[in-house]
Structure 1
Amino acid sequence: MHKVFVSGSMRIKNINHEVLKRIDNIINSKYQVLVGDADGVDSSIQSYLLQNKVSSVSVYCAGSQPRNNLGHWSTNNVQTIHSPGTRAFFTAKDLVMAEDCDYGLMIWDAKSTGTLSNTLELLKRKKSSLVFVNKEKLFVKVKEVKDLELLISYMSESSLVKADKKIGLLSSIEAFKNEQSSLF
């Protein structure tokens, strides 16, 4: 069974109908949904899955207790050495989700470094993601570094600077480019 990592910005509470169509395709294809436990996109997707009586869902959380598990689905508790509440603490579950999934579906506000980091992690693992850029109301398929560059073109300059500072975005892009050029 294919597994889809669904993730997104905590600031996004209302999921666009085009994204919900994609979620419906995932449900109808009988894929398993891997979703986090955060507020925002995670809890909104959980709510939609619950309304649609979807059972093939796994909720991932860092530590022992999920913040949200609306459907009381199976939980994958990721243990981490990082201090609770820190970025590294919550990122631990995202890294496991990136490893466990086959594909990603991201809903992004063109600012969230968490969602962008998840897209990077999938790319590192040679897995593709479909990113819905919420403010533009469009999807960007990220399969290689040029797709990632297109995706970040939707960021403001200040958001790009913050993302680079938080997650080393630009050095990650350079590393992908160097990796690709070394293949030839």
Structure 2
Amino acid sequence: MTGSRRQDMRAPSEGTTGSAIAKGPARRGVGGAGGELPWELAMTASDSATYHRVSTPPIFISGSLSIRQLPASVMKRLGAVIDKELPVVIGDAPGADAAVQRFLADCGVRHVTIFCGGSVPRHNIGIWPVRQIRADAPAGTRAFHSAKDREMCRLAGVGFVIWDGASQGSRANIRRLCERGRYVVVYLRPEDRFVTLASDAERMAFLASSIHSDGV
């Protein structure tokens, strides 16, 4: 990593607690041939006003509660994140969140920040820095947990959603990222394939065919 990418991060925004998004060395050589994504190019075109002093905004990785084990193809894509030492923001839910956390922790990744709604995250497998995003909603409800998802969508330059095709939370994250014009990679578990949303036309077509308003 260059010296500029090792600069200290900004303090958390007002109304939140926890550490700023962490960065640090990661284990190399996980992605392998064919595992890379053009995320760096996508992120250089993102908004300049980000949570980081460095030029690279984080990747928001999310997924469905029903997905508790990562397919090999998803782990290969995550290898590109590890190889490029890109910052990651992720939630604390069981299912895909916990599975991705476990994979990143096993690979020794440090540039991860956990977002949660409660005072203590439900899962923080790598003992990474935590940001609590408070919500004006009863604990445990969808509205309570969606507050942190909205914040991660706001901060992210890129989204990677591991979707079972039915989860309303994952559906909402795809919609939020698309509405912000972000580069989004969606893994569709029922079809075992990836969909890349890199242009406005691709995002609009995917939203029209697959995303329905869920009110969150």
Question: Shorter chain as normaliser: what TM range?
Answer: 0.7 to 0.9
Match of 2:145 in 1: 90
Match of 1:22 in 2: 77
Matches within 5 A, 1:1-184: 1-143=56-198, 144-150=203-209, 152=210, 164=213, 167-168=214-215
The aligned length equals 157
Q: How far apart, CA to CA, are the structure 2 residues paired with 1:147 and 1:31?
A: 26
> What displacement does 1:126 show?
1.2
Q: CA-to-partner distance for each residue in 1:36-86, whole Å, 9 max, x for gaps?
A: 000000000000011000000000001311100011100011011111011
Q: How far apart, CA to CA, are the structure 2 residues paired with 1:168 and 1:136?
A: 26
Q: CA-to-partner distance for each residue in 1:101-121, whole Å, 9 max, x for gaps?
A: 110000000100100100111
SS in 1 for 2:122: coil
Q: CA-to-partner distance for each residue in 1:143-179, whole Å, 9 max, x for gaps?
A: 42113335x2xxxxxxx8xx65xx059xxxxxxxxxx
Q: How far apart, CA to CA, are the structure 1 residues paired with 2:77 and 2:136?
A: 35
SS in 2 for 1:135: helix
Is the contact made by 1:60 and 1:75 (CA closer than 8 Å) also made in structure 2? Answer: yes
SS in 2 for 1:27: helix
Detail structure 1 runs of 4+ shifted over 6 Å in the superposition. none
Is the contact made by 1:141 and 1:147 (CA closer than 8 Å) also made in structure 2? Answer: no
SS in 1 for 2:123: coil
Q: CA-to-partner distance for each residue in 1:14-44, whole Å, 9 max, x for gaps?
A: 1111111110001111101111000000000
- The share of aligned pairs that are identical, in percent, is 32
TM-score normalised by the chain length of structure 1: 0.81
Q: How far apart, CA to CA, are the structure 2 residues paired with 1:134 and 1:112?
A: 11
> What displacement does 1:142 show?
2.6
For residue 3 of structure 1, what is the amino acid of its counterpart? P
| Bigger helix fraction | 1
For residue 55 of structure 1, what is the amino acid of its counterpart? R
Match of 2:52 in 1: none
Q: Which has the higher contact order (CA 8 A, sep 6+)?
A: 2
SS in 1 for 2:124: coil
